[in-house]
Amino acid sequence: MKDVPSDCMIRPMKTNIVDKTSLCNVILLGLFAVGLGLSSLLVKSRTAIELSEPIPLPGEGLSVRVPTAAGWKSLTEWSYERDNSFTLVSRYSIQGPPIAEVRWQYRLAEKKLPAEDLLREYAGRFSGQAGEMQQMETSLKFYWMHLFPRTSNEDLLLAVAVPAEGRALLLQIRCFTEPLYIRDLFEQLAGGVRIQADPRREVGNQLAAKLRQGEYGKWLHQINNLPRPFMIGTTGDKPVGYSKTTAFLKDSGQSLPTGLDYEEVLPTGREPGKTASRLRAADDLSEFVWTTDRLMRRRASQTALHYQPAGFLEIQDSYGRNDSVWPASSALPEILLPAMAWTMAQSAHQTEAVIDVIASAGWIVPAVFSIRNAPQDAVKLNTIQVVVRVDFLHDEKSFEEYYFDSQLNPIGKYEQTPGQVPQLWKPAAQEEILFYFGNLFDKPDKSA
């Protein structure tokens, strides 16, 4: 065997080392690529956003969507809150408490400010750092920012849009423990908002304007010429209470010269209860003071509402409440529902309208007014010619029906409230009221 130079003996060994190293590199690159692919799939699976079908808010022409992917539990209908808003909530959890939340809130009587000013005001209620305000325009223009509260390991995205004057749509996305890509979620949710004017709103605005421009005064004259108490009872049983309305046409020397007093007596449990309301208003309802006194189970309370010409409503009550809200300019106090029903009965070609109702406690409740041809079968009032029904949108089971004769004189009312027996108001003579309730209800009358 010939001697082989040393440099010739190491060349094959060097070639093997290079080959093995290249192979390892290829394998490592492959594993890295697989890892990137898995990571990408993981990110995509975590950020995959499945949204519900549009969930409409009746009477507002608005619909939104909520997350529906695995782990999300969502409401499927808007819920009315006693802060003059409707809410829609969706929560995400795997096991244990929620780790994320989406909350839509539609406010009915918000300050008449631009969306960016409302966002600053709401953000100021949180303690912590705030990110930069940004915009996103879909069917509505949203202003939004990140908030980082000091008290918890939480990331909050807050967005505000103004669909109409006095209305505000808020979106809150909270993440409590781990990143949930809330920016992507916000963009999807904001992009899923749809809004289209409900034509019934414009009809309601027209009817409210008509009431303010003369029908209110005509209605006061009508009920003043036909003073009539109403007996209250179920449709087939004996009476359980009564109501009485007194109109004030002109009170000279007063800044609020017109109005009415309303008295209603109904039992609460075993004891009688009384509600006494007093409305004093400007001729065009641009200002009014409405006080409601209640005596229920020997406890007296009062709520006072003062609607100012500037467009806001001051609310005070016996429990120390002192608030202000900004209802729509067409909103009407509940005590004038009979007047609005009468106004609509004269406009039979307008079959449906949506109007905000101001309840005696100061809450704002949208309602659908509609013309009906006949009352419910259980109501036996043979002279009924026109029915105006009022469906309150905060609860689909709550409604009232107002009955009129051929001359559009008020001749009755039917009311259904969840959890209570339906009640019917029927015309009654003063002698009937005294016969049934003269002795039973004189004590509440004296102590009110």
| Domain residue extents for the chain | 55-195, 199-447
pLDDT value at position 227? 77
- What is the structure's pLDDT at 349? 72
CB neighbours of residue 185 within 10 Å: 21
Which pair of structure tokens corresponds to residue 223?
């009920």
Most confident range, picked from 180-184, 265-269, 351-355: 351-355
Using a 10 angstrom Cβ sphere, with 0-12 exposed, 13-18 middle and 19 or more buried, the burial of residue 183 is middle
Is the pLDDT at 89 greater than 60? The verdict is yes
| 415 or 447, which is more confident | 415
Give the per-residue pLDDT at 177: 63
Q: What string of DSSP letters covers 405-447?
A: -TT--EEEEEEE-TTS--EEEEE--HHHHHHHHTTTTHHHHHH
Better-scored residue on pLDDT, 311 or 126: 311
Cα separation, 91 vs 246, whole angstroms: 51
pLDDT digits over 316-342, tens only? 999 999 999 999 999 999 999 999 999
* Strand pairing class (352-358; 332-333): parallel
Q: What is the DSSP string of 344-356?
A: HHT-TT--EEEEE
How does DSSP classify residue 213? Answer: I
pLDDT computed for residue 165 by the predictor: 87
Of the candidate CATH numbers 3.30.565.10, 3.30.70.1170, 3.40.50.720, 3.40.1000.10, the domain formed by 55-195 belongs to 3.40.1000.10
**Strand ranges of the sheet holding 62-64, from the earlier edge strand across to the other edge:** 55-57, 62-64, 194-195
Rounded mean pLDDT of 109-132?
A: 91
pTM value? 0.83
- Rounded Cα distance between 364 and 334, Å, is 10
At residue 235 the predicted structure's pLDDT band, cuts being 50, 70 and 90, is: low
The C-alpha atoms of residue 46 and residue 28 are separated, in whole angstroms, by 26
Q: Which of 325, 295, 393 is nearest to 112 (CA)?
A: 325
- DSSP letters, 154-209, are -EEEEEEE-SSTT-EEEEEEEESSS---HHHHHHHHHHT-EE---HHHHHHHHHHH
Q: Which residues in 251-348 belong to E strands, given as ranges?
A: 258-268, 271-281, 288-296, 299-307, 313-317, 322-325, 332-333
Q: Reply yes or no on whether the pLDDT at 60 is more than 90.
A: yes
As a whole number, mean pLDDT of residues 341-370 equals: 92
